[in-house]
Amino acid sequence: MSAVSSSSPSDRFSLPDAGGHFGRYGGVFVPETLMTALQELGDVYAAARQDPEFQRELRHHLKEFAGRPTELYFAERLTEYAGGAKIYLKREDLLHTGAHKINNALAQALLARRMGKKRIIAETGAGQHGVATAAVCAKFGLECVVYMGAVDMERQALNVFRMRLMGAEVRGVEAGQKTLKEAINEAMRDWVTNVRSTHYILGSALGAHPYPMMVRDFHRVIGQEVREQILAREQRLPDEMVACVGGGSNAIGFFFEFLDEPSVRLVGVEAGGRGIKRGEHAARFEGGKLGVLQGSKTYILQNPDGQIELTHSVSAGLDYAAIGPEHAYYRDRNRVQYAYACDDEVIETFQLCSRLEGIIPALESTHALVHGLKRAKEMRKDQIIVINLSGRGDKDVNQVAKILGVTL
């Protein structure tokens, strides 16, 4: 444990500052036309955060609609297989719509209602955030438009149909790489034009303030439950916690309650894709540099001219050139460590977890499993590791079948 991590217990509640900064990261880098909307959102959220009625309502919907609390599951056979630390899985895959994304989508839909906004827009990559947003909009009777890259729409046709079934309009984006980055650009353009009637439900701990803070807060429930559950089960805190990091929302929500516990090692796992070579991965801490993308200053994969680098990962949900600013901050302070997992290891572990535990994990979450299993092997049998299973793999079975050469 480094001196930095133990001497910096927590400014966690004072971050970000009023301008949305996590140290030198974060901030508000948007066109002037959006400043008023972000200010309004910040004010409404500040009030809601203090309001017991908002918190009560959110808890109610998280329980009844989303299915919280989720189990903390002892993975007996994976533990036996690794032969080291006890492995627990936090079962966010059991949530309605199949991933942690619903925690944030529900909460932001409640905020939209408070602001009197009846039209929702969202971006989506793999489609999980789009599906979660479509579901909450159906539930609350809100109009819903989801922007999605044309390439992603083709790869994730099933999720496109799901969104449409729930009444959302899915708009394909043909610009650039036709994936998540372009979908976010289109959503921001829509927001600028329709800001009076429309709330933008951003899907990760990314973008301009107050989004990274707000999205983090809406996922903190994950770590709060883990703390209670592991204390009830083992009468102590875990030694290590591992989560995958796309934008960083499931990871920061999982870690937050433990930032002040120097005995708990926290590890985020990025997408190593086909290996750490330019354009072949999405591990921002492996070769990324400080820059600004879509509202926030953070680590970004870019070429020497500052153009955004192409990225690749077998999992669409981790395939993004920027990482949430709070992660960059805790990495600098050495409080959270970062690793990566590559496509081939992910495909192997996807099958292993399915076979040993009867749980088909999302490809994103499988990145955390790959690293967690390596670590469990190195740890003692009396130690405990908790891995966040951010989502389920039903959405990925077609893709994996194709990779394995199986015709369905």
Ligand X SMILES: *Cc1c(COP(=O)(O)O)cnc(C)c1O
- 167 burial (CB, 10 Å; 0-12 / 13-18 / 19+) is middle
Integer Rg of the chain from CA = 20
- Map the footprint of ligand X across residues 60-89, applying CB under 6 A: none
Q: Which is nearer to ligand X, 163 or 379 (CB)?
A: 163
Verify binding: residue 244, ligand X, rule CB under 6 A.
Answer: yes
The residue sitting closest to ligand X, measured at its beta carbon, is: 391
Q: What is the three-class DSSP state of 326?
A: helix
Verify binding: residue 156, ligand X, rule CB under 6 A.
Answer: no
Verify binding: residue 294, ligand X, rule CB under 6 A.
Answer: no
Smallest separation, CB 319 to ligand X (Å): 9
Q: Which is nearer to ligand X, 97 or 379 (CB)?
A: 97
User: What is the C-alpha to C-alpha distance for residues 202 and 179, in angstroms, rounded to an integer?
Assistant: 15
Q: Which is nearer to ligand X, 249 or 399 (CB)?
A: 249
Window contacting ligand X (CB under 6 A); options: 13-21, 188-196, 242-250, 334-342: 242-250
- Map the footprint of ligand X across residues 336-375, applying CB under 6 A: 362, 364-365
343 and 372 Cβ atoms separated by less than 8 Å:
no
- Give CA separation, 346 vs 134, 170, 312, in Å: 29, 30, 14
279 and 313 Cβ atoms separated by less than 8 Å:
no
Q: Which is nearer to ligand X, 144 or 379 (CB)?
A: 144
Q: Which is nearer to ligand X, 37 or 102 (CB)?
A: 102
- Element (DSSP H or E) covering residue 3: helix 3-7
Smallest separation, CB 341 to ligand X (Å): 13
Residues annotated as catalytic are 101, 123, 390
User: What is the C-alpha to C-alpha distance for residues 274 and 281, in angstroms, rounded to an integer?
Assistant: 6
Smallest separation, CB 251 to ligand X (Å): 6
* Neighbouring residues of 259: CB distance < 8 A, sequence distance ≥ 6: 9, 10, 12, 266, 330, 335
Smallest separation, CB 317 to ligand X (Å): 3
Interaction mask 32-51, ligand X, x per CB under 6 A: --------------------
Q: How far apart are the first and last CA of the chain?
A: 49
Verify binding: residue 204, ligand X, rule CB under 6 A.
Answer: yes
DSSP 392: B
Is-cis flag, bond preceding 210, omega within 30?
A: yes
Smallest separation, CB 244 to ligand X (Å): 5
Contacting ligand X (CB under 6 A), which of 249, 298, 313, 349?
A: 249
Q: Which is nearer to ligand X, 84 or 330 (CB)?
A: 330
Smallest separation, CB 213 to ligand X (Å): 14
Contacting ligand X (CB under 6 A), which of 42, 130, 248, 295?
A: 248
- Map the footprint of ligand X across residues 302-321, applying CB under 6 A: 317-318
Contacting ligand X (CB under 6 A), which of 246, 288, 295, 372?
A: 246
The helix/strand count (H/E) of the chain reads as: 15, 14
Verify binding: residue 238, ligand X, rule CB under 6 A.
Answer: no
# of chain residues touching ligand X (CB under 6 A): 21
Smallest separation, CB 246 to ligand X (Å): 3
Q: Side by side, which strands form the sheet with 198-200?
A: 169-173, 143-149, 119-124, 198-200
Q: Which is nearer to ligand X, 248 or 273 (CB)?
A: 248
Residue with tokens 């989506």: 124
- Map the footprint of ligand X across residues 93-132, applying CB under 6 A: 99, 101, 126, 128
CA 259, 325, 57, 226: dihedral to nearest 10 degrees?
A: -30
Q: What is the DSSP string of 207-265?
A: SSTTHHHHHHHHHHHHHHHHHHHHHHHHSS--SEEEEE-SSSHHHHHHHGGGTT-TTSE
- Give CA separation, 268 vs 47, 335, 365, in Å: 31, 11, 11
What residue ranges bind ligand X (CB under 6 A)? 99, 101, 126, 128, 204-205, 244-251, 317-318, 362, 364-365, 390-391
